[in-house]
Each structure stands twice: as structure tokens, then as C-alpha cells.
Amino acid sequence: MNGMSGEGHGKKNRYLKQPTYFKPFLPFTFQTLPSSFPHQKPNAMAEKKNDTKSFAIDFLMGGVSAAVSKTAAAPIERVKLLIQNQDEMIKQGRLSSPYKGIGDCFSRVIKEEGTGSLWRGNLANVIRYFPTQALNFAFKDYFKRMFGFKKDKDGYWKWFAGNLASGGMAGASSLFFVYSLDYARTRLANDNKSAKKGGERQFNGLIDVYRKTLATDGVAGLYRGFVISCVGIVVYRGLYFGLYDSIKPVVLTGNLQNNFLASFLLGWGITIGAGLASYPIDTVRRRMMMTSGAAVKYRSSAHAFAEIVKNEGTKSLFKGAGANILRAVAGAGVLSGYDQLQILLFGKSYGSGSG
């Protein structure tokens, strides 16, 4: 679950986005520009050209925002992944003893690997932003047209089902192309200097993750956990919109109805709640990723879930959840500050790339 995203300001910012892995899908509309405009006046063509330029600037600056936010939150992100997957690492002999908490994980990583290692795997996470956004542009409108129901016209449940279907299919389509980068990021972040392995790492870098995984497991190894990841998108969206539409009419009444702070806190609380409720899915998918190249693998996500609960208890499904909340808070703080800096420098905010 990932941090909060900046919002667009005015007409020029209609391309800005709000992406996260288990978050509602992109709220903007990408305008596909045809190669020629035979029936348009010169000023209309100039406006289209300006729109293209504005989109390109927003896209690139959004990438800078993504790099800043992801890099700033990378240390707590790595700690979250290490705590979340520590039982798998212990089984594989890559971790000598479990972490006692967030503080213990931080101190051990710094002591054993150095401060710079807190950013291990961040490059893959930053790179992932650009193809994800480009693919979101390609898929968003297509699936929105297929399931574009209106709440007031078609009814709540038809709108709700359409929202889940369009968001889930668009998210899964984009995820298919960038999943291997998420896999590589997970493997690099969990690749600690194992005392049992003589202090050696399993991977030398991003390319080495691909090379070794393809050699041992083939392409399937890069997509282990993909199906449950797609399920996670739908589950999160269902929880998010279901909770928001149920709680908002009850809580935001009277003076709070149009109160920005109250709306923000409600959205924040629901984001955290939906994230925690769907967190076990994230744990299962990442634990499945960790078995690529290993002698013993989970047969399916259901098998992984059953084995984790049977051998480690239900609590193991939520390991790293506390660090995940801290990561979201840290990411939101960085993005808010960066948005203000952009407004001071450029007169507008270019949004953020969380996720």
C-alpha cells in the first residue's frame, strides 16, 4: 500500500494522477491525439499542441515527484519488506534470527550492511513509475468506456460493480507489464548479507535478478504471485469505496459536510483501514515472489496462505503492517512538502507518483 498522491490544480493539471498499487485507479483522462486534424481551425490545432506539451511536462515532472517520494520513503519501505518476508528468509537460511521490530530491523541493517543499503531495490521502484503511467494512459479510457456506469443514473450497485471491474482490469493490465520490476524490487530489498551464507548477497543488482530468475525458473519465476496481486487490486477497491460510501453519509454531516480537514482525515483513515484489511494479500504475493529460485515453492496463493497460517499463525500475515503505515505517512509528508516547493518554483504542482 502506498502513499498519498498530489491532486491537480486547474485545467492545466487534468493529466495528473493519483496512482498506488492498492489504490483507486487514475482519475484523469488521457487524450489520444490523432496524427492530423483536417477539420480543425489553426487555433484548435495550436491548443492541441499546447495540450501535448503540457502533458509531456506534467508526465516528466510527475516522474521527478515519484523519484523524490519513493527515494525518501525507501528506507522504511525496505524495512517493511524485510519484516514482512523474514520468515521466508529464515527458512531459506538467509536470515539468522527474526527482527524484533522496526527499530531493531533498522539498526541491524545499518550495522550489517551500511546506511546506503536502506535504499537497496529503490532504483527498480523508481523505474517502474514511467511504464506504469504510460500503460495507465493506454488502458484507463478503454476499460472506463466498458464499465462507465453513473451512480445517479444506473444505481449504486451497478456503479460499484463497474468501478471494481474497470479498475481491476485496467490495474491488472498495467501490472502485467511492470510486475517483473516489482518482483525485482522485492528480491533486492530482501537480499540481505546473510551471516549463514558468509555475508554474501544472492543478487548483484537489478539485471542479475532477471538473469538468475530466468535461469532457474524461466519467465514464470518473474510472475510468481501475479494472480493474487490482481485479486488484491479488486479487494482493495471494494473495501475503499464500500467503506467510504458507507461511512461518509454518517460521519460528514452538519458543519463537517464540506470540511476539508474532516474529509481528508476520513479518506486517510479509510485508506489505512482498507490497506490493513487487504494487507495479507500483499504478504502472500511477496512470500510467493521470495520462492522463485528456491527448492521448495508454494503451489498457489491458496497453498501459500494455508502454509503461512498453519506454520506461523495468522499474525504472520500482518508482519510489516506497522512499517507500511509509517511509510505512507512519511511519503505523504514528503509529497506535501515537494508539492509546495513546486508551487513556489513553477506556480503549480505536478502531482506525485506513489505506488
pLDDT in tens, 54-112: 767 777 777 787 788 889 999 999 999 999 999 999 999 889 899 999 999 999 999 99
Stated pTM of the model: 0.78
pLDDT in tens, 153-212: 888 888 888 878 887 888 888 899 999 999 999 999 999 986 565 578 999 999 999 999
Angle in degrees, 0-180, between the axes of helices 156-189 and 206-217, rounded to the nearest 10: 100
Q: Is there a domain that residue 14 lies in?
A: no
pLDDT in tens, 283-300: 999 999 999 999 889 999
Q: Is there a domain that residue 12 lies in?
A: no
Q: Is there a domain that residue 5 lies in?
A: no
Q: Is there a domain that residue 16 lies in?
A: no
Q: Is there a domain that residue 10 lies in?
A: no
Q: Is there a domain that residue 186 lies in?
A: yes
Number of domains comprising the chain: 1
Q: Is there a domain that residue 219 lies in?
A: yes
Rounded Cα–Cα distance for residues 190 and 95 (Å): 10
Torsion of CA 175, 180, 181, 183, to 10 degrees: 100
Q: What is the CATH number of the domain that holds 265?
A: 1.50.40.10
H or E stretch covering 106: helix 102-113
Q: Give the per-residue pLDDT at 28.
A: 28
Is the per-residue pLDDT at 315 higher than 90? yes
Please spell the DSSP secondary structure of 213-226, one letter per residue. Answer: HHHHH-HHHHTTTH
Which CA distances in Å does 118 have to 64, 74, 123, 205? 20, 7, 12, 14
Give me 32's grid cell. Answer: 489520444
